[in-house]
Structure 1
Amino acid sequence: MLHTRLAALDAQPLDSGESWLVPALLAAALAGSAVLALVARHPLVAAALLLSTAVAAGLSWAARRRSARLVPVTVSTPDIALVGSALALSPDPAALTDGEGSLVTANEAYGQRFAGAPRPLDLGANEAALAELGSARALAWRDGQGSIDDVATPSGPARVEVQRVGALGDLLLWRFPRPQRDFLAVLKGRATGPEGEILGRNGVLSAVTGPHGELLAANRLLRERAGVADDFAGLTLGELLQQDDDGRVRLSTELEANRPLRLLHIPIDAERSGQAGLNLLFDTPEAASLSNGANLQALLDILPVGLALVDRDRRFLTTNKAFRTAGGLGDGGIPAYPGDLVVKEDKAAVADTVRRNTRGPAMSSDLAVRLVHNPGEPVALTIAGLRGLGDPVVLLLLKDNSEEAKLKRQIAQATKMQAVGQLAGGVAHDFNNILTAIIGHCDLMLMRHTPGDSDYDDIQQIKSNSNRAAGLTRQLLAFSRQQTLRPQVLQLPDVVSEVSHLLKRLLGETVTLHVKHGRDLGPVRADPGQLEQVIVNLAVNARDAMQDTGNGQLTIQTYSVPANQVAELGSEILPVADYAALSIADTGCGIPANVLGKIFEPFFTTKEVGKGTGLGLSTVYGIVKQSGGYIFADSKVGQGTTFVIYLPVHREEAGAEKAPAAPKAPQEETWGSGTVLLVEDEAMVRTVAERALTRQGYTVVTANNGEEALEIIERGDPIDLLISDVVMPAMDGPTMVRHARTLRPDVPVLFMSGYAEEQLRNSIDIDHVAFLPKPFSVQELAEAARKVLAQE
């Protein structure tokens, strides 16, 4: 609708100086007529002259009056914003142009239908369409309106209506009405499409009829029950149905089956379309019984739980899709009796429970049975008696819980590994305190003995064994993923090359080593020393597995696994990413299937007593997981074992620069000066550390716990370095340091702990602290203290 603001054109009165003109003309005409009458002495001539003069004066006055009414006042321009708001109310595309067809404004529907919102005159898809649009414009400009049906446009054929509008008639309104939806065509598509199938699965027969009742479409269930082909031209719905005297409707093909139907007709337009519309046919309650089962089967197949019905003779009446899947029946036929689904040992229990539910009162029982197709996985079978449905019927419920059982096993395994890892970490922490004291005392004793003394070799042997025990704790920390790693960006082939010379000596003469490297391997980020330990552990296990096979072969291979190939591996654990893979395969005796799932557990070993600790593969597992990778094992008895490690490819961040490595202090620069506050709850560790620092020139003040350390700090004594354990009773080390920093903000801190540095840094939110892992030697403690003081 167009709104235009124009001033009204109203009649203006004659000026006061011009109001005498008409009477003067009439007076002159009368005077002239009188003179002529006197001169000519002819009254008719005078009367004619008088009449003509009066008519001329009247016409002159009317013309003057008309010209005065056509004088316009000020006219304002159209408000385009208001016009656009009015056009936006129309759901159909509409545009306003001037007389030449230039676009003034258009609504949003116009821009959506015609991309770029061109002029209406330019919407023709071809020359003929452009000519038709031009003719419509000319017709509307001449006669006030014009229209075209099915003009070709870029968005398809459209109807165009053009109307001349505006107070001055100088604008054209173009409208493109949307075609009316053919609801009958829509119903036909729905009846034969997915909607019709859904209705059919639920036992609803649907058909679409035309104005005269002719059958236009029907779902598959109606065609099957009515026995008609897909092509039913000329067939009416009334020919498929037969109505009883009581008003009930039946299909002509089911007269003897006693299956009455209820007809629901939904017309499109009862006044204009006659019988055209949607027809739904429902089975009446008389037709709903367990024996025919058409709609019952459709409803059962929708349920996700496996259901089956058994009659009084303990034979299957029907089963749904979920029951057949869980029972391993597939698309084949169902057995005669429920006992045929289970193994021989469970047949009697199932048969007896079904028998009791068919004869006695309604009850339910749950049985744990093993199915024939999968005897290794017990499943739950619920058997319940149903009453009130006619003949006694037994309901069976069976659920395929193999995936659920697999998930439960995985969760249990992960929980067990986590619990053992926490236990291993705690044991390693306490054991590190003991080893710190042993190694420290050995270092102090070696300072008083020189090579050649009778006790020197014994002390060295004690220290060597202590270091071996420290290696065992590192393995425990590696399994619990609490080991301190020093990751670097490296290439897997370089790591294999570094360790291959050692492997040749470890494998001996009876094992042949083959090394293969793939192309285009991406860099990985891992600790090279720990990665070498992984390769050595797997190689040693492979060597032991090939001792009884004669000449064995160990193959180490590196290759690239791009992200698009990860999905092809079929692993649910490995995320989609780019990996560098390391494969270690042997030709040994292999690992049995019942043992393969336990090989990464700590202290689990198949070797003889005294020949293995059971920490080799658990250490490998811990190092790989702590490095962000994944490890898989595949083995067949008598054919060998293959371990594959997937490490994610490391991507350097854009613009990231490598920090320069800090220069390592010379080993002999361990002497220092100043006051050190040593906080340690373990007396043996505190004693060793105090003696070691005192020998290096420091003044040492000791505290047994965090509270005692804070009392020393509050006294105001000079403290140049604070060395503290992390885990202590009552107040731990980080809490004590936070309070100490409020009194001495600049005091340097060195933490000692048997836990991993990465784990501590993630849990301790304190800046400018250093870490010294346990166990440590006297030399390492002195170097760490000297380094912290040098940095400050």
Structure 2
Amino acid sequence: MKALEDAAGFTRLPPIVAIAVALLVSSGLVWLIAGSGTLAAGYGIGLAALMAAGVAISRMRQTPGEESFAQPDWSVTVAAIEQPDTAIAVTDRANRLVCANSLYAEWFGISRAPPNLSLDRESLERMVRAAREAWRDGRGLAEPLAQEGEGDAWRGEAERVGRGADYLIWRFTALKLEDPVARVGEWISGPLGAFLSNSGIEAAVVGTDGAIRAVSTGFAERATGDPLATLAGQDFVAQLRSDDRERIYFAREGRRGTPQMLVQVALGDPDDARPSRADEVPSLMLLVDSGVGIGGGWEGGGNAAATPQLEALLGALPLGLAMTDRDGRLLFANDAFLRAVALEDRGLPPFPSDLVVREDKSALIDAVRRFARGPATSGDMAVRLLDQPDEPISLGLAGVRGLGEAAVLLSLVDTTEETRLKHQVAQATKMQAVGQLAGGVAHDFNNVLTAIIGYCDLMLLRHTPGDSDYDDIQQIRANSNRAASLTRQLLAFSRQQTLRPEVLQVPDVVSEVSQLLKRLVGEKIAFRVHHDRDLGPVRADPQQLEQVIVNLAVNARDAIHSRGDGTGRLTLATRRVSATDVRKMGSDIIPVADYTVLVVQDDGGGIPQNLLGKIFEPFFTTKEQGKGTGLGLSTVYGIVKQSGGFIFADNTTGPDGMAEGARFTIYLPVHRGPERREVREEAASASGWSAGGRILLVEDEDMVRAVAERALSRAGYTVTVASDGEEGLAAVANDGAFDLIVSDVVMPGMDGPAMIRAARKVRPDLPVLFMSGYAEEHLRSEIDVAHMHFIAKPFSVQQISDEVARVLAESRVKKPADSA
């Protein structure tokens, strides 16, 4: 135990004392064993040297954790060096990144430590030199520092720190380098540019990629018409145009402007001794007007200097004028000439012969040369332009002298607007003629259908279901009704069909037809309906309005199916448009009033632009043969116009600017008058009128007259027939005891209205029922006959019998009231 305690006490001695004791003990043992003091002394000295070296080496390899000082917390250091405008990094002697703030990470990243940053070669050399100075002198400076191809620059400063001077602190601040090109751009867009423009010099700063960086106000005004336009980023070359003689003009001004002389000034670094090409540095472009006294006028001198002023004068005239030289080359053309030959966007060709058709080229070339080389005379010739090969126009030619290169003056009246009006008038005349033809054909055809349907009804009275002829008669009658619907379409197009207008709400009509539309368009097409609030009532025929909606929906369905897989959208919407909204629209077509608007829109690809003006024409269709008559949209147009409304067709565009679908917008005027409901009650329920009475039937068509006579006779009436107006008037004069006159409107000789006016001189209270294939509203506006009634052709036997009974019942009710 005592030995252990002595050993423990030995280990508790200070390290230096323990080592000295051990050294003395070991030297003493060597002296005792060897018996030599010299050997013992040498052994002690050598062992002491080895122990000293070991202690020194162990201290050099000592880890930071073995030091007596606490390990540093670098997160506290990072928080302390966080600054908003200075990037800070700490490196050790091995150039390893110890810590850095967030701005350093944003500017340079943390993958590299100073001085080995991602900089250009010169900046790296400055960084290495600054690091060397900092380790040697305690501080080093490196500026400017820049990255390859970047415009940013910094100032770097290194400082040696630490207890053992083992670290460098790097501080980086951003440098704001002055851009000489930007300064020039500021000058050009400011007062200096205005001074240059006043002197006839326009300026622009253009980058190496040809894009404009800055322009003077005069350049912007001549290039775009707006002096405040910056034109930054636009192509400089696109603002100019050159002719075949390499003269430069502003593209917007064309040849009506003055030629420009282009001067290019490279904006390179003046301190850079290396020769630089103009396309490697930004440039200052100066456009010097030909009128500015720099080396005289343009080529030719003399009279040529006055040509720009002459061109400016001719450019202001409304008459189309152009000038050629003696070789027939076009020198100038004003806007009116370019419009007349449809070359506003394409520019002027080299020769006038390029404007006309091939057959007129040689004659025009000879005429220009003759006027250019002969005496100063004038004349004209008929030519056909390329864009109007079917319409010859008169081209004036005049030889001129004393205007420099100009030798021939060409004159051409701009007939663009006149041609457009001619086309519109021709189209309107054609549509009116087609409408009149359609109405006449439909009227005559209705007479035939009236007879066919009437005879079918009479035959069906003698046949019952099950008879061998019953089904055939029904088939004839069904086909006759289909033909009658076709005539109604023709009358709708010519705005001569019979309408039964009522005061109604458009959403109610849409609701009535919605279920039918869902079945028509199918499940693949999403059908949506949206109604605006506070819609005004309209006065229209609900059945005809339903036909309009169905026709537009079917066209939209076909357009969607033709596009691809048959999936799409169909939207019906109603909107309220006030008179204020119409006034803001500034439309020359729609009168200022309140409207209820119906919009039918699809995404079926839209209508080709060249067909938008033709879609309402009769018999025009884009569908395959046998799949469309071309009367659908013409019928829609006729119904809307006859109802006092307006319809417009246009295309909707998608995000890419391409046509996405078609949109039909129908404007129906809001009805402001009292609500009128025409209640047509049957005779039996209205007044108890029993069949019987004397009727005068006046009809020039034998078959219609025969059917109507048989129908009324079977109903119990005594019928007297007449084949024209004179015969009918004679019947009234000879025996005026008729209860009712049933008369056609259009007859040879005396028509129906003239006959009725003459008959009412004898019988003022004599009721009249007109028969016609034309529209009732049209006849009421054209015929000045009071208390007239109307039945549209074709009609069935039951329809004419019921209508006669109703008119007789109404007249019987009025007579006691009149006598009272």
For the aligned pair, the TM-score class normalised by the smaller chain equals 0.5 to 0.7
Amino acid at match of 2:603: T
Q: Secondary structure at the match of 2:760?
A: helix
Q: 1:626 aligns with which of 621, 627, 642?
A: 642
Shift of 1:663: 5.4
1:545 partner SS: helix
Of residues 440-449 and 330-339 in structure 1, the stretch that sits farther from structure 2 once superposed is 330-339
Name the counterpart of 1:431.
445
Measure how far apart 1:324 and its partner are. Answer: 6.1
**Could you tell me which of 624, 645, 650 is aligned with 2:670?**
650
Alignment match, 1:789: 808
- Secondary structure of the 1:427 match is helix
Instruction: Mark the CA change 1:607 to 1:644 in structure 2 (over 3 Å): closer, same or farther.
Output: closer
1:620 alignment partner AA? V
Paired position in structure 2 for 1:196 = none
* Pair 1:378–1:436, CA change in 2 (3 A): closer
Counterpart in the other structure of 1:239: none
User: Is the CA contact 2:339–2:416 (under 8 Å) kept in the aligned structure 1?
Assistant: no
* 2:774 equivalent in structure 1: 755
Q: Structure 1 residue 611 and structure 2 residue 611: aligned?
A: no
Give the aligned residue type for 1:547: H
The more displaced of 382-391 and 606-615 is 382-391
Unaligned runs of 5+ in 1: 1-252, 258-287
Contact 1:671 1:696 in 2 (8 A): no
**Alignment-mate amino acid for residue 745 of structure 1:** P
- Of 575-584 and 433-442, deviating more is 575-584
* 1:373-522 paired onto structure 2 within 5 Å: 380=393, 382-386=395-399, 393-522=407-536
CA distance change for structure 1 residues 641 and 406 in 2, over 3 Å: closer, same or farther? farther
Kept in 1, the 8 Å contact 2:606–2:662? The answer is no
Determine if the alignment matches structure 1 residue 539 to structure 2 residue 553: yes
| Structure 1 residues 232-261: Cα deviation after superposition (integer angstroms, max 9, x where no partner) | xxxxxxxxxxxxxxxxxxxxx99xx9xxxx
Q: Conserved in 1, the CA contact under 8 Å of 2:320 and 2:340?
A: yes
* Contact 1:354-1:383 within 8 A present in 2 as well: no
CA contact (8 A) 2:604 2:662 kept: no
What is the match of residue 763 of structure 2?
744
**Corresponding residue of 1:228:** none
Instruction: Quickly say closer, same or farther: Cα 1:684–1:765, change in 2 above 3 A.
Output: same
- 1:393 CA displacement: 3.5
| One-letter identity of the residue aligned with 1:743 | V
Q: What displacement does 1:317 show?
A: 6.5
Q: Which amino acid aligns with 1:607?
A: K
Q: Distance in 1 between the 2:345 and 2:605 partners?
A: 41
Correspondence for 1:697: 716
Partner of 2:268: none
Number of the residue aligned with 2:544: 530
Q: Which amino acid aligns with 1:649?
A: P
Quote the Cα distance in structure 1 between the aligned partners of 2:350 and 2:691. 91
Matches within 5 A, 1:715-734: 715-716=734-735, 718-734=737-753
CA shift at 1:597, angstroms?
Answer: 2.7
Q: What CA deviation, in whole Å up to 9, does each residue of 1:540-578 have, x standing for no partner?
A: 122222224212222222223344444666755344443
Please say if 1:665 is aligned against 2:679: no
Residue among 307, 312, 319 paired with 1:305: 319
Instruction: Tell whether the 8 Å contact from 2:356 to 2:383 is kept in structure 1 after alignment.
Output: no
Q: Which moved more, 1:755-764 or 1:568-577?
A: 568-577
Q: What letter corresponds to residue 630 of structure 1 in structure 2?
A: F
* 1:595 match: 611
Query: Aligned partners of 1:483, 1:394: CA distance in 2, in Å?
Result: 61
| 1:382 shift after superposition | 1.6
8 Å Cα contact 1:489/1:650 also seen in 2: no
Q: How far apart in 2 are the matches of 1:542 and 1:667? A: 45
For residues 668-711 of structure 1, what are the alpha-carbon distances to aligned partners after superposition, in whole Å with 9 as ceiling and x for unaligned? 87852121111111111111111111111111111111121222
Q: Which whole-Å CA distance do the structure 2 matches of 1:567 and 1:346 have between them? A: 49
Q: CA deviation at 1:511?
A: 2.1
Tell me the distance in 1 between the aligned counterparts of 2:689 and 2:363.
80
Using the alignment, how far apart are the partners of 1:436 and 1:514 within structure 2? 41
Q: CA deviation at 1:727?
A: 0.8
Runs of 5+ consecutive residues of structure 2 not aligned to the other structure: 1-291, 297-301, 812-820
TM-score, normalised by the number of residues in structure 1: 0.57
Residue identity matched to 1:783: D
Which is further off, 666-675 or 760-769? 666-675
Q: Deviations over 1:392-445 (max 9, x none)?
A: 842211333322222222222111111111111001101111111111111112
The answer for the alignment partner of 1:552 in structure 2 is 568
Q: Does 1:365 align with 2:380?
A: yes
Of 522-531 and 682-691, the range deviating more from structure 2: 522-531
In the superposition, relative to structure 1, how do residues 598 and 470 fare at CA in structure 2: closer, same or farther (>3 Å)? same
Q: In 2 relative to 1, CA 435–724 (structure 1 residues): closer, same or farther, beyond 3 Å?
A: same
Matched position secondary structure for 1:494: helix
- State which of 589, 595, 599 in structure 2 corresponds to 1:573: 589
Can you list the C-alpha shifts for 1:591-627, whole angstroms capped at 9, x where unaligned?
Answer: 3333333221212223233322221111111111111
Cα shift at 1:341: 7.0
Structure 2 distance, partners of 1:342, 1:714, is: 73
Secondary structure of 1:785's counterpart equals helix
Provide, for residues 213-245 of structure 1, a one-character-per-residue CA deviation record: whole Å limited to 9, x for no partner: xxxxxxxxxxxxxxxxxxxxxxxxxxxxxxxxx
2:490 and 2:631 in contact (8 A); partners too: yes
Asked whether the 8 Å contact 2:341–2:385 carries over to 1, the reply is no
2:397 and 2:802 mapped to 1: Cα distance?
77
Cα gap change, 1:559/1:790 in structure 2, threshold over 3 Å: closer, same or farther? same
- Kindly provide the CA deviation profile for residues 48-92 of structure 1, in whole angstroms up to 9, marking residues without a partner as x: xxxxxxxxxxxxxxxxxxxxxxxxxxxxxxxxxxxxxxxxxxxxx
Asked whether the 8 Å contact 1:310–1:395 carries over to 2, the reply is yes
For the Cα contact (< 8 Å) 1:577–1:648, is it kept in 2? no
Identity over aligned residues, as a percent?
59
Q: What displacement does 1:367 show? A: 5.0
Contact 1:678 1:703 in 2 (8 A): yes
Q: Which moved more, 1:348-357 or 1:399-408?
A: 348-357
Normalising by structure 2, we get a TM-score of 0.55
Question: Deviation at 1:295?
Answer: 8.4
Q: 1:414 to 1:390 in 2, by over 3 A?
A: closer
Q: Tell me the residue number matched to 1:198.
A: none
Tell whether the 8 Å contact from 1:562 to 1:577 is kept in structure 2 after alignment.
yes
**Residues in 2 aligned to 1:345 and 1:560: alpha-carbon distance in whole angstroms:** 57
The CA distance in 1 between the partners of 2:666 and 2:450, in whole Å, is 36
Aligned residues: 503
| Counterpart residue type for residue 601 of structure 1 | E
Deviations 1:444-493 (A, max 9, x none): 12222233333222222222221111111111100000011122232222
Asked whether the 8 Å contact 2:357–2:389 carries over to 1, the reply is no
Evaluate the alpha carbon distance shift between residue 335 and residue 473 of structure 1 in structure 2; reply closer, same or farther with a 3 A threshold: closer
Give the conservation status (yes or no) of the 8 Å contact 1:670–1:783. Answer: no
Correspondences of 1:105-504 after superposition (within 5 Å):
292=306, 300=314, 303-314=317-328, 322-323=336-337, 338=352, 350-360=364-374, 362-366=377-381, 368=383, 370=385, 380=393, 382-386=395-399, 393-504=407-518
Query: In the TM superposition, what is the alpha-carbon distance from 1:380 to its structure 2 partner?
Result: 4.3
Pick aligned residue for 2:788 from 763, 769, 778: 769
Q: Deviations over 1:86-120 (max 9, x none)?
A: xxxxxxxxxxxxxxxxxxxxxxxxxxxxxxxxxxx
| Distance across 2 between alignment mates of 1:697 and 1:687 | 16
Q: 1:330 and 1:612 mapped to 2: Cα distance?
A: 40
